[in-house]
Every structure is written in structure tokens, then in C-alpha cells.
Amino acid sequence: MQLQQVIQYLETIAPPSYQESYDNSGLIVGDPQQEVTGILTCLDSTEAILEEAIQKGCNVVVAHHPIVFRGLKRLTGKNYVERVVIKAIREQIAIYAIHTNLDNVYHQGVNARIAEQLGLINTRILAPKGEQKKLVTYVSAEHSDALRRELVAIGAGQLPGDAGHRSHAGLGVAYQDGAGQAEVKMEFHFAAPLERAILRTLRHHHPDPQMPHEIIRIDNINSEVGSGLIGELSEPEYEKPFLQFVKKVMKAGVVRHTRLRSRKINKVALCGGAGGFLLSRAKAAGADIFITADYKYHEFFDADGEILIADIGHYESEQYTVELLSSIISAKFSTFAVYSTEVNTNPVKYI
Ligand SMILES: [Zn+2]
């Protein structure tokens, strides 16, 4: 099994186009054509993780956080990022990162996994990226299969969480100068960020240079793509016991939170990692508590008595992503071993 086949599969779950603009998800080190001997999943691809990969006979590391984030200008081994890249190349270990694209999908995403751990029900994306569009195009029957293949190859008709494709085609007859010609009307749903790629594909592969088509915007508030998640407790719970429950389930060394409001918690908003940018969305959605990480002193004031903010730690909030990734991969592939790391890469310690 080649690495690229694994990557292709992961990208049907978390398409690269869903990553945030600042991110660097994807294959960071390695050859897509290399044969996979084993995969190790982790949050951070540190030197200790590479050592573990070697010991377990894995030549691929699938990490949540991209080890190279801002770009590298030198490779001298003067910091841990450079040392990891050098070691990975030397030991022929590929590093693949699946970061904000995995944060931003509902099905099998980072936040759904946290919600599952907390037992939330009626969950949905907190801040949907939202936009889906529909392409309608008309093409002669003989060329329709080829065009459909090209469009599907770039992700048209595919929305995260879908088992199959959302596309359909119908055969009709177009008349020109009185002569009938069989023509197919094809429709594909797609995530809005794909629009440019769709138009490029039409330009290159539509047999008619005028490439007759229309693109329709679809308003869909139940989007499957976006940041954070909101859900409900099956039974409302007082704040303090709920915070204690969260601390236990998320194995948090400490939970930093704003003043208790002496009311029961029903709606829970959450975001794995640094989710502070979603506070106003959590409030607007009527959440009683917002669980996330990386909160700074002044940002806690923004709770403003309207919501309870709980910072459970970045690593703690995302720890279940390691198992999530190994279960996603092992459910699909059986020709190599898949391991969740046993190394705790949390750089933050508590006494
Ligand atoms: Zn993170």
C-alpha cells in the first residue's frame, strides 16, 4: 500500500481545502509513493515520536499539528523543528499533518470526538463555514462520463461525511438548427471553496468551449464544515459537578474557568485547541459553557457574566484525536499496523 492511497482516503474525510489559510496541513516530509510499513498517530510529531515510530516499525507519522508551520530557511538542527525534519528524512519516515481541515469537519472531526467523550447530544457545528454550491452543466452524452470523472476527481459531488457522491445526471435532447443531439444535464453539490477548481476543470475538460453551466448558491445552515461544536447534555447539570466531570473525562491537570453563575448547564459549546475566537458564537448560540483552551488573562473577562468559560488545556482538549486518527486509518486499511502513540507530547506540566 502506497502512502498516497492513505492520504487520498484521509482527504475524503478532511479535504485539504477546509484548512485555514494560516495552516500547513498535508504531507510535510516524505515520498507519496513510498510503501507503508506502519503508521503512528500523534498530536505533535516530535523527536520522541520519531523514535517510537522506528521502534514500532512505522515509516509514516500522521500528526494533528504540522511540525513545519511557518516555513524553514535552514536545516542545521539548531531547534527541534529542524531536528525532526532532518531525522525524518534520514530515517525515511514520512510526516503527514491533518490539522484545521480535521478541526473543521463534523463527521469524524476533532470536536465531535470531544463531544462524544462528554456525552453531548443534538450536536452541530458552532460556526459553519457554511456555503455549499451546486454546479449545473450540460454536455453531449458521449463526453459526459469523461467530464464527470474529472469533476469528481477534484471533489465535486462530495461533501465531508457523505458516503457517496451528491451528483446526478439526466439525459435530454438538445435541438440546434432543427437537429436533435443527446445532451446530459449534470448536477454536483460542492463546498464553496472548490469553486475555482471546478471552473478550471470545466475550462480544461468541457468539450464545448462555451462550457454551458450555472453555479447556484445553496443556503444550508446544517453545514458539515466549520469551527467548534455545540450540543446539549442529556440532563442539565450544576456548573461545579459538570466542571469536575469535564476535568476527569478530559484528564485535565487543571481547569481554569470564569466565575460560576449558579445555574444549571444545558447547552455546551466547545472547540479543541485555541478556540477563543468562537466565544461570541458560543454566546449567540445560547451556550451555558464554552470549553476550549489557550485562554489568556484578559480574554477571560469577555465571559462578562453571560457564559462560563472553561480552559482545559490544549493537549488535553485534543488528546482523543490521536485515537480518532488511528481508528479512521485502521478501519480502512489492513495491510499494515496502525498505532496510537504512547508518548505524551504535552509540553505543559502541572505541579
Ligand atoms: Zn491543536
Q: Which residue has the higher pLDDT, 174 or 260?
A: 260
Q: What is the pLDDT of residues 87-142, one digit of tens each?
A: 999 999 999 999 999 999 988 899 999 999 999 999 999 988 766 788 999 998 88
How far is ligand 1, taken at its centre, from the CA of residue 274, in Å?
7
Q: What is the pLDDT of residues 266-280, one digit of tens each?
A: 999 999 999 999 999
How far is ligand 1, taken at its centre, from the CA of residue 312, in Å?
12
Entry pTM: 0.76
How far is ligand 1, taken at its centre, from the CA of residue 52, in Å?
21
Where helices occur in the chain by DSSP H, the ranges are 3-13, 47-56, 80-90, 100-103, 110-118, 141-153, 195-205, 239-249, 279-284, 297-300, 314-318, 320-332
Q: What is the pLDDT of residues 204-254, one digit of tens each?
A: 999 988 899 999 887 655 578 889 999 999 999 999 999 999 999 999 999
pLDDT score recorded for residue 128: 85
Packing angle of the helix pair 239-249, 110-118 (nearest 10 deg): 120
How far is ligand 1, taken at its centre, from the CA of residue 341, in Å?
16
Q: What is the pLDDT of residues 8-62, one digit of tens each?
A: 999 999 999 888 889 999 999 999 999 999 999 999 999 999 999 999 999 999 9
pLDDT score recorded for residue 163: 47
Residue 156: how many other CB atoms lie within 10 Å: 27
pLDDT tops 60 at residue 175: no
Alpha carbon dihedral 117, 120, 124, 127, in 10-degree steps, equals -70
pLDDT tops 80 at residue 192: no
Alpha carbon dihedral 73, 74, 79, 83, in 10-degree steps, equals 120
pLDDT score recorded for residue 160: 52
pLDDT score recorded for residue 169: 62
How far is ligand 1, taken at its centre, from the CA of residue 272, in Å?
7
How far is ligand 1, taken at its centre, from the CA of residue 79, in Å?
20
Cα separation, 111 vs 123, in Å, equals 10
